[in-house]
């Protein structure tokens, strides 16, 4: 028996000893190293976007002498940069979701306290004078004297209402027409269907600014020049092709069996479209609506060209003339108008963020 057991003992003695603890430690180190590199990359590409917006807000609430006070900006950066790094370290070291939120909360509390201590005394609302003073430009100019060729500004709430009207009406028309057209292109076969699909991409491929002169003449001859309706008509015409193409992709991904089941159960084609198909493409409709609204909200070239009277100004024109008329006089007011201009887009994005993150190219979420 001793003679038979000897080879087994020799083979066991020759096998290398695996240090599982060392392997686990190396795996954890590699995972943390990759996470650190990833976070560093994300921070590096995010800072060029975050810092200008952060400085915009800081100048809007902190500028007192009409110019951007760099000391305040650097003090605010002395808070923000360590806070971002702190969030990064907390995310890298957290072993559970509870530790992650505790780390984030600790960093946020320290950052808020430091910001209140270093920047808080310089914050004020004086630069937002345009919100409650109808003739705010005269007040601003009185600080440095009359500006030659100054523009008489309309009430900012009037410009805000015009922008809401243009962006909202354009969004409603584009979403409605694009949904109906995309459903028809997705579900029905008819002569010229392929050519129409190709033309949608071709129409979106050319720079729309090349058509600004013909559009100007067309609006003039049909009597819509210097009207909000004319701008809405132009924006809808340029936004529809791409919206139809996007929505067609969502309708294509909705299985025909779902719609057929509704028709078999006695629903009409309209009822099946409204009650069965449209809910499946809800994320696509929401995405098209959000991006179309933002496109109309930030439109500048067409409103600058087609709107002449200041009673038809939108927020983009108001922002332009504040910069052009008051620039060099009060950077704080210019930044404050910029912050006010950003609010609707920010609110819209925050409200739709959850649905946009779930969006996939297709009507049925996997």
Q: Are 91 and 108 in contact (CB under 8 A)?
A: no
Regarding whether 165 and 218 lie in a shared domain, the answer is yes
**Cα 284 to Cα 87: distance, rounded to the nearest angstrom:** 33
CB neighbourhood size of 9 (10 A): 9
Regarding whether 340 and 265 lie in a shared domain, the answer is yes
Q: Is residue 224 part of a domain?
A: yes
Regarding whether 160 and 120 lie in a shared domain, the answer is no
Three-state SS for the chain is CHHHHHHHHHHHHHCCCCCHHHHHHHHHHHHHHHHHHHHHHHHHHHHHHHHHHHHHHHHHHHCCCCCCCHHHHHHHHHHHHHHHHHHHHHHHHCCCHHHHHHHHHHHHHHHHHHHHHHCHHHCCCHHHHHHCCCCHHHHHHCCCCCCCCCCCCCCHHHHHHHHHHHHHHHHHHHHHHHHHHHHHHHHCCCCCHHHHHHHHHHHHHCCHHHHHHHHHHHHHHCCCCCCHHHHHHHHHHHHHHHHHHHHHHHHHCCCHHHHHHHHHCCCCHHHHHHHHHHHHCHHHHHHHHHHHHHHHHCCCHHHHHHCCCHHHCCHHHHHHHHHHHHCCCCHHHHHHHHHHHHHHHHHHHHHHHHHHHCCCCCCCCC
Regarding whether 347 and 219 lie in a shared domain, the answer is yes
Q: What pLDDT was estimated at residue 2?
A: 44
CB neighbourhood size of 283 (10 A): 20
CATH number for the domain including 185? 1.10.3720.10
Q: Are 241 and 204 in contact (CB under 8 A)?
A: yes
Residue 297 domain boundaries: 156-358
Q: Is residue 337 part of a domain?
A: yes
**Cα 44 to Cα 84: distance, rounded to the nearest angstrom:** 11
Q: Is residue 275 part of a domain?
A: yes
pLDDT in tens, the chain (366 residues): 444 444 554 555 566 677 788 888 888 888 878 877 887 787 778 777 888 888 888 888 888 766 667 788 888 888 888 888 788 788 777 778 888 888 889 989 998 898 888 888 888 888 888 888 877 777 776 665 555 555 677 888 999 999 999 999 999 999 999 999 999 988 888 888 888 877 777 777 777 788 888 889 999 999 888 899 999 999 998 889 889 988 988 898 888 888 888 888 888 888 888 888 888 888 889 889 988 998 899 888 889 889 888 888 899 888 888 877 655 567 888 888 999 999 988 888 888 877 776 665 544 443
Regarding whether 275 and 174 lie in a shared domain, the answer is yes
Q: Is residue 32 part of a domain?
A: no
Per the structure, the count of domains in the chain is 2
Regarding whether 341 and 197 lie in a shared domain, the answer is yes
Print burial letters for 302-329: b (CB count within 10 Å at least 16), e (below 16).
Answer: bbebbbeeeebbbbbbbbbbbbebbeeb
Regarding whether 338 and 262 lie in a shared domain, the answer is yes
Q: What pLDDT was estimated at residue 103?
A: 86
CA distances 129 to 67, 139, 243, 332, Å, are 16, 9, 39, 10
Q: Is residue 72 part of a domain?
A: yes
Regarding whether 204 and 289 lie in a shared domain, the answer is yes
Regarding whether 305 and 164 lie in a shared domain, the answer is yes
**Cα 360 to Cα 365: distance, rounded to the nearest angstrom:** 7
Q: Is residue 7 part of a domain?
A: no
Regarding whether 229 and 342 lie in a shared domain, the answer is yes
Q: Is residue 150 part of a domain?
A: no
Biggest distance spanned by C-alpha atoms of the chain: 112
Q: Are 336 and 128 in contact (CB under 8 A)?
A: yes
Q: Is residue 71 part of a domain?
A: yes
Regarding whether 283 and 345 lie in a shared domain, the answer is yes
Of 76, 103, 124, which residue is a domain's last?
A: 124
Q: What pLDDT was estimated at residue 144?
A: 58
Regarding whether 113 and 167 lie in a shared domain, the answer is no
């Amino acid at each position: 028996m001793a003679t038979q057991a000897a080879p087994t003992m020799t083979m066991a003695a020759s096998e290398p000893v695996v240090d599982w603890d060392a392997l686990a430690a190396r795996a954890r180190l590699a995972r943390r190293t990759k996470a650190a590199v990833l976070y560093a990359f994300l921070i590096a590409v995010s800072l060029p976007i975050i810092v200008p917006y952060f400085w915009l807000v800081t100048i809007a609430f902190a500028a007192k002498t009409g110019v951007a006070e760099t000391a305040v900006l650097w003090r605010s950066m002395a808070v923000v940069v360590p806070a971002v790094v702190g969030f990064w370290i907390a995310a890298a070291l957290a072993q559970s979701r509870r530790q992650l939120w505790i780390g984030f909360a600790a960093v946020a509390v320290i950052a808020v306290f430091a910001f209140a201590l270093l920047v808080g005394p310089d914050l004020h609302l004086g630069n937002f004078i345009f919100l409650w003073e109808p003739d705010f430009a005269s007040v601003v100019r009185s600080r440095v004297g009359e500006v030659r060729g100054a523009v008489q500004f309309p009430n900012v709430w009037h410009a805000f209402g015009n922008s809401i009207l243009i962006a909202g009406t354009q969004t409603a028309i584009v979403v409605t027409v694009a949904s109906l057209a995309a459903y028809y292109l997705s579900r029905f076969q008819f002569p010229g269907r392929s050519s129409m699909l190709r033309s949608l991409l071709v129409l979106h491929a050319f720079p729309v600014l090349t058509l600004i002169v013909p559009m100007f003449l067309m609006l003039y001859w049909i009597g819509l020049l210097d009207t909000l309706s004319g701008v809405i008509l132009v924006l809808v015409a340029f936004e529809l092709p791409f919206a139809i193409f996007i929505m067609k992709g969502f309708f294509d991904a909705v299985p025909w069996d779902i719609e057929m089941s509704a028709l078999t159960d006695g629903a009409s084609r309209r009822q099946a479209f409204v009650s069965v198909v449209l809910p499946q493409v809800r994320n696509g409709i929401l995405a098209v609506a959000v991006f179309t609204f933002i496109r109309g909200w930030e439109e500048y070239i067409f409103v600058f060209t087609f709107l002449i009277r200041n009673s038809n100004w939108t927020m983009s024109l108001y922002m332009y003339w504040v910069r052009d008329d008051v620039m060099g006089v009060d950077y704080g007011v210019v930044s404050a108008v910029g912050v006010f201009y950003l609010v609707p887009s920010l609110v819209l994005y925050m409200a739709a963020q959850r649905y946009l993150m779930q969006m996939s190219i297709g009507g049925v979420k996997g």
